Every structure is written in structure tokens, then in C-alpha cells.
């Protein structure tokens, strides 16, 4: 990938105020794109945008509000005439025994992790079809490829994101539009330590469960994502060892399920 692979392109990154989203904003700007750093936390969006010089603009965005997402897309088109990159990255997690999740928690994670992505697709994809080009990038997770208890609601939503991305990709290719799902293992972001209840230790769970001594640096992930998007890859799986995990799950699913059940049981005991 050339250093300026996205020169002159225009991007929106949701959840751009921290973590993976902030790293993606930095990477796309460094590769030549102008970036709308979109986040429900406007102060965080401004903080990231301020590091991008004239390539970054902050915008408060609630991805659960379809009209707000559509307005963000319309604003970019009004200013630049097109939108080249729609990065649906905003997400949350709950770590808990499934029986302890409330209906409100289920609704919230569905609203952010699934509807937040579909709102981005609904706003950007028709435009990209009309302009005969563009790329949709949806942040999923290894949890969208492999099942895992205690993060049941999170895995459910990320499986939905992967399914949406791969299904849309088979249609979008006929309009010159690329679709990529990002499926990382544990990344050093606030999500490792958020949404925990009932003794659940997210950092221990994610690192131990994925055989990692330390979480992936978000800037390293962002560089892998840019390479994958430039190559129009269907899935960006990182780090490399996670590709092995995914392959094992596909080739010998029974073994993978038994290993997962054993691990989840150990984590449940540690929560006592």
C-alpha cells in the first residue's frame, strides 16, 4: 500500500474519539484522506481531530439516531461532493453471566452495535451505489467469528456485523463498492475494561481467551485495516495468530467449541 493510498478521499469514522476509531482516524488522515471524527463524546472527537490538522473535523454523532447519521453523510457530500469511506466503528460491550443481563442492556447493545452499523450502511451505501464507488468498513471482532459465553450479547451483535458485511459485499461488488469487516482480537482500548459486572474481568478474559500476553496496539490494527481496505479484503483479522484460531474454528468446530466451553467454565469459576 502506498503511503498516500487514500489521497483526496473523504471519510467518516464513527466512534472516532477513542480506541480503534481514533487510530483509524489517524491512519486515514496520514494516508491522505480528510476525516470526520464522529463520536457521541464531542470533546473526545475534538481532541482527536486536533491532531489531524486540516484533515480532521470533529462532529458529535449518535449512531443510534438514523437521522443524525444521514445528516453526517449529507454534510460531507454537500462539502466535498462525495463520500468515499464510511467506517462504522462505534461499539459497546457487556461482560456478564447472560442471565444477569437486563432487557435494557440487550436493547442498548443492539442499538449501538447493530443498528449503529445499519444506520451507517443505510445512509452511505445508496450514495456509493449512485457514485459507482466507495468503501464501507464495519468494525466487528473475533467475537463475530467465534462464539464465547460471558460476552454473549457482544458476540451476537458482532456476528450480525460480519453477516451484514459479507452479505452486502456480494451485492456491492457489482456497483464498484467495497465492504470490509474488521475482526481483531483484544485491542488496547477502553472497551477492555468497560461494561463489566458480576465479577467479570474483561482484560483477563480477552487476553487469556485469545492467548495474548498483551493487547494489540490500536495503531498497528489501523495500519492492517488500511492495507486490507486498499486491497478490498472481505475480512481483516489481526493479529496474525488470530487467523490460526479462526481456521481451527472452521476446520474442527467441535474441538473449538469444547475448548471455548472449558475456558468459559474456568472464567465463571473465577467470578465466584
pLDDT digit string (tens) for 244-256?
999 999 999 999 9
> Residue 187 forms beta bridges with which residues?
216
**Strands of 134-139's sheet in order across:** 56-60, 34-39, 10-14, 85-88, 134-139, 177-184, 235-238
Confidence category of residue 272, pLDDT binned at 50, 70, 90: confident
pLDDT for 171 beyond 90: yes
Name every residue whose Cβ is closer than 8 Å to that of residue 197 and which is 6 or more positions away in sequence.
94, 95, 96, 100
Confidence category of residue 55, pLDDT binned at 50, 70, 90: very high
Query: Three cell numbers at 112?
Result: 449501538
pLDDT for 209 beyond 90: no
pLDDT for 211 beyond 90: no
pLDDT for 3 beyond 90: no
What are the DSSP calls for 122-181, one per residue?
A: HHHHHHHHHHT-EEEEEE--GGGTS--TTSHHHHHHHHHHHHHHHHHHHHHGGGTEEEEE
pLDDT for 94 beyond 80: yes
Per-residue pLDDT at 76: 98
Q: Output the furthest CA–CA distance in the chain (Å, rounded).
A: 56
Confidence category of residue 51, pLDDT binned at 50, 70, 90: very high
User: Mean pLDDT throughout 58-80?
Assistant: 98
User: Mean pLDDT throughout 237-250?
Assistant: 93
Q: Check if the beta carbon of residue 81 is closer than 8 Å to that of residue 134.
A: no
Q: Return d(Cα 168, Cα 165) in angstroms, integer.
A: 5
Confidence category of residue 162, pLDDT binned at 50, 70, 90: very high
Q: Return d(Cα 1, Cα 7) in angstroms, integer.
A: 12
User: Mean pLDDT throughout 93-106?
Assistant: 97
Query: Three cell numbers at 63?
Result: 449512531
Confidence category of residue 138, pLDDT binned at 50, 70, 90: very high
pLDDT digit string (tens) for 108-126?
999 999 999 999 999 999 9
User: Mean pLDDT throughout 253-267?
Assistant: 94
> Residue 189's closest CA among 15, 61, 63?
15
pLDDT for 2 beyond 70: no
Whether this prediction's pTM lies above 0.85 is answered by yes
Kindly list the structural domains of the chain, giving each domain's residue range(s) and its CATH number in brackets, ordered by start.
10-270 (3.40.50.720)
Conformation bin of residue 81: beta by default, left when phi > 0, alpha when psi is -120 to 50: left
Confidence category of residue 210, pLDDT binned at 50, 70, 90: confident
Arithmetic mean of pLDDT over the chain: 96
Burial of 46 by CB count in 10 Å (0-12 exposed, 13-18 middle, 19+ buried)? Answer: middle
- Cα distances (angstroms) measured from residue 272 to each of 96, 112, 195, 199, 204: 12, 30, 18, 7, 15
Q: Name the residues annotated as catalytic.
A: 154
Helices of type H across the chain:
19-30, 42-49, 66-80, 103-109, 116-131, 152-172, 202-209, 218-230, 240-251, 253-270
Amino acid at each position: 500500500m502506498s503511503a498516500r493510498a487514500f489521497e483526496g478521499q473523504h471519510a467518516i469514522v464513527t466512534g472516532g474519539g477513542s480506541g480503534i476509531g481514533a487510530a483509524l482516524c489517524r491512519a486515514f488522515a496520514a494516508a491522505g484522506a480528510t476525516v470526520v471524527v464522529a463520536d457521541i463524546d464531542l470533546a473526545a472527537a475534538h481532541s482527536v481531530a486536533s491532531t489531524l490538522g486540516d484533515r480532521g473535523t470533529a462532529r458529535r454523532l449518535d449512531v443510534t439516531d438514523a437521522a443524525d447519521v444521514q445528516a453526517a453523510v449529507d454534510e460531507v457530500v454537500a462539502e466535498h461532493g462525495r463520500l468515499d469511506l464510511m467506517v462504522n466503528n462505534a461499539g459497546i460491550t457487556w461482560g456478564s453471566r447472560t442471565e444477569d443481563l437486563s432487557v435494557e442492556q440487550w436493547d442498548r447493545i443492539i442499538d449501538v452495535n447493530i443498528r449503529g452499523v445499519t444506520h451507517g450502511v443505510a445512509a452511505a451505501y445508496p450514495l456509493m451505489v449512485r457514485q459507482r464507488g466507495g468503501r464501507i468498513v464495519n468494525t466487528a471482532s473475533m467475537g463475530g467469528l467465534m462464539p464465547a459465553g460471558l460476552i454473549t450479547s457482544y458476540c451476537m451483535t458482532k456476528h450480525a456485523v460480519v453477516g451484514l458485511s459479507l452479505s452486502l459485499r456480494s451485492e456491492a461488488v457489482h456497483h464498484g463498492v467495497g465492504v470490509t469487516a474488521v475482526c481483531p482480537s483484544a485491542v488496547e482500548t477502553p472497551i477492555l475494561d468497560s461494561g463489566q459486572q458480576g465479577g467479570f474481568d474483561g482484560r483477563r478474559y480477552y487476553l487469556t481467551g485469545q492467548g495474548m500476553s498483551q493487547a494489540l496496539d490500536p495503531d498497528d490494527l489501523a495500519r492492517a485495516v488500511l492495507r486490507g481496505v486498499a486491497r478490498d479484503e472481505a475480512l481483516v483479522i489481526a493479529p496474525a495468530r488470530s487467523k490460526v484460531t479462526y481456521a481451527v474454528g472452521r476446520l474442527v468446530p467441535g474441538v473449538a467449541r469444547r475448548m471455548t466451553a472449558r475456558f468459559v467454565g474456568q472464567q465463571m469459576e473465577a467470578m465466584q
